[in-house]
Amino acid sequence: MNDCVFCRIAAGQAPATKVYEDDTLCAFLDIRPIARGHTLVIPKRHASELEDLDAELGAHIFRAGHRLALAIRRSDLAADGANLVLNDGTAAFQTVPHVHLHVIPRRHGDKLSFAAGLLLRRPHDPESTAAAIRAGISALAHEDETSAEERE
């Protein structure tokens, strides 16, 4: 294994507040969040930049980001929207050389607090934040089950 902090997080060898994980990717709270609930989605297999990432895995990362953005809307965090951002390469402000998708919750009228979050980047009670996102994921799963039953 290389010395990549995100690879160590995915392998369970570095601390992180995980909110979702499957066989190929991991999602955890950003340690320097712009807003409460700011989550990173990473592939477990190392890829420094998009050029190193298989397109199907990239699509899976984005689907997970989409799902997390919806979960955050349904959680106690009650976001009105989200920014999904992937910085590709140092020229695009990528600071960790491992592909990662930022899922940043947004609220109506949050321009000033969002700008302050860009500057301050401070954690917001990670355990309760992660619990709220996990509850949102559960709410989405329940909605999916209900919709499937209604279609039958």
Task: Please identify every residue annotated as catalytic.
Answer: 100
Whole-angstrom Cα distance, residue 30 to residue 104? 10
Comparing C-alpha atoms, which of 67, 59, 55 is closest to residue 21?
67
CA atoms within 13 A on the CB side of 35: 23
Residue 54: count other Cβ atoms within 10 Å of its Cβ. 12
Q: Which of 11, 14, 13, 70 lies closest to 39, judged by CA?
A: 70
Angle at 51 between CA 48 and CA 56, to 5 degrees: 100
